[in-house]
Amino acid sequence: MNSTNNIDERMLKYLPWLGAMAIFMQALDGTILNTSLPTIALELGKSPLEMQSIIVAYTLTVALLIPLSGWLSDKYGTKKIFQAAILIFTLGSVFCAFATTLPVLVISRIVQAVGGSMMVPVVRLAILYAYPKKELLKVINFITIPGLIGPLLGPSLGGVLVETLSWHWIFLVNIPFGIIALWMTTFAIPDYKHPVFKFDIKGLILFSGGITVLTLVMELSSSRVINSTTIILLLIVSVFLIFLYIYHAKRKQHPLIDLNLFKIRTLKIGIIGNLITRLGIGGMPFLIPLLLQVGYGYSATVAGLIMIPSAASNIFAKSFAVPIVNKFGYRDTLIGNTLILGVLICLFYFLKSEAPIYYILPLLVVHGFFSSIQFTAMNTLSLADLDDKTSSEGNSLLAVTQQLSLTFGISMAALILGIFREATALTRGVEVQAFRYSFLALGFLTILSTYIFFQLRESDGQAMAGRK
């Protein structure tokens, strides 16, 4: 590893803030959209329950391009690539604001995602290079806290904008933040470079193809636009492409995603835990705003305001994440926390068709708290045993996993909701009932995912947790 300029005290001071800004932009963009989906659907002539493609197109594109972002940042420098990422993300936001049809909006989201795929991973990679391991948990936790202001503001800001102005403004608000972030790059991010090998284009095609087809199957299944035979055929194609990638990666010296990384215990369990656990909890930010608006008839503004306590408790929990992990270790923390989250999601089943606010709010607050502990613990566990040789690829793999888990979580939630909406004998055609059974299914899925964390040892992650 080398740097074109030595990192100084000013960079060490402001680099975490720039990381927080990048996370903030992504978080605001994601959460501001959730409460706006019904309004966008109405103007574009679509069903609110079929609008997940706007979110999935973004998260999937980000996931598939993250490995390329790591290669680009190593070859051309973290500073240059991060600046390009901010610029593309901001321009993509402008394109989204002027979209007039759903296909154009989805395409614009993909452009936006090209920037998003490089934004957070590159600045986080710079942080991994800039700080000693003993400071990483504290720094990573710090950059997440300001970034959580996005989810705090997003739902209510989105509701206010779509009701007072138009849904286009939920994308235009990214512009001033993009300008500020670009200005900060002039003094807050070092320009680290790394020797690189020829990029694995074949691996990208195989991996991207397999994951894209799998996501497409989940999307089309939830909207019931293809028959079961087509679904099975697409699943076979997806599995075939993924196995081809595994075969390819084991034989290539420098593959897109190095499967040897899975020999690192903490990284392997953190990655698998992210994927499996978020199948249950990853769809909650998508389902809850829809439940509030479609199921209970709240306005976008009210639905956004109801989500604020959950986001606030998410931020509040960050100050407890490090002490909890330090005291109990990663194994006990993740086992206990995952079980609690599963039970909490199941409790949403007891919502009634006329459920009062005073029942929903406590659930959202407690769920937000334990979700924060979960994500912090899983993410830092994944990074715990990386060294200078594995930091770049391990960081990229974690970022890919986070985005894929978001994609799969939303697609799984939409698929399960679609199944229960069709089960009229069970729900009697009442939308709230379909949501209730969906929460119950996702809760059980989360509880089952606890199994992966039983594979951890008491000593795993000690370097990051600071336990002796």
Q: Residue 6: which pLDDT band, with cuts at 50, 70 and 90? A: low
Dihedral sign for Cα atoms in the order 150, 151, 157, 161? positive
Q: What does pLDDT average to over the chain? A: 81
| β-sheet bridge partners, residue 416 | none
> In Å, what is the CA distance from 425 to each residue of 420, 422, 430?
10, 9, 10
Report pTM.
0.74
Residue with tokens 């490995």: 67
Q: Which amino acid is at 44?
A: L
- Reported as a single tens digit per residue, the pLDDT across 380-406 is 888 777 776 777 677 778 877 877 887
Dihedral sign for Cα atoms in the order 337, 343, 347, 348? positive
> What pLDDT does 429 receive?
65
- Strongest mean pLDDT among 81-85, 262-266, 459-463: 81-85
> In Å, what is the CA distance from 335 to each residue of 149, 317, 367, 427, 458?
28, 17, 16, 33, 12
CATH superfamily of the 2-199+256-465 domain: MFS general substrate transporter like domains (1.20.1250.20)
Taking the C-alpha atoms of residue 101 and residue 121, their distance in angstroms, rounded to an integer, is 31
- What are the start-end ranges of the H helices in 35-101? 37-44, 52-76, 78-97
Residue with tokens 């610029």: 87
Secondary structure of 139-172 in the HEC alphabet? HHHHHHHHHCHHHHHHHHHHHHHHHHCCCCHHHH
| β-sheet bridge partners, residue 3 | 192
- What are the start-end ranges of the H helices in 348-455? 357-383, 391-422, 424-427, 431-448
Inter-helix orientation angle 78-97/9-34, to 10°:
20
- Reported as a single tens digit per residue, the pLDDT across 115-167 is 988 888 888 878 877 777 667 767 777 777 666 676 677 777 888 888 888 88
Residues recorded for the chain = 468
Q: Is 193 helix (H, G, I), strand (E, B) or coil?
A: strand
> What pLDDT does 197 receive?
79
